[in-house]
Amino acid sequence: MNDIDDELPQPSGILALQTLAMPADTNPQGDVFAGWLMSQMDLAGAILAQKIARGRVTTVAVGSMVFLRPVPVGSTISCYADLQEVGRSSIRTIVEVWLTHVHSGEQVKVTEGEFVFVAIDDRGRTRPVEQPEALSV
């Protein structure tokens, strides 16, 4: 690697979800709605949280959303989930969304946010999360 590669921002966490921005998810100008993007991020965070909790989880908090640029229709978006903390029953993640330009293959970060999940049992009641000694997600 050269010095330039070291300076380029890279996604953090694991690739949890990848999808295509479709016309039904956009405004009249052809950019996706923020709510649709947040939904994809919630799914990506939940995928990681379920793996850690070894079961059912529910979203309990979303915070510190930052939207950096619009996402045009037809874009491939990749959601990367990064574990921040495991509590007694909660799992806190940061989810980043990166857009891949079709022609150049260049990736740019479009948003990030914090998502907190709680492990629940079959009746929807909070349950403890087993504390991993070494996290291999």
Q: Which CATH class is domain 3-119?
A: alpha beta
Q: Give the tens place of pLDDT for each residue, 72-91.
A: 998 999 999 999 999 999 99
Domain residue extents for the chain? 3-119
Q: Give the tens place of pLDDT for each residue, 90-123.
A: 999 999 999 998 788 889 999 999 999 999 999 9
Per cent of the chain over pLDDT 90 is 80
- What's this model's pTM, rounded to 2 decimal places? 0.88
Q: In this structure, how many other beta carbons lie within 10 angstroms of the beta carbon of residue 25?
A: 18
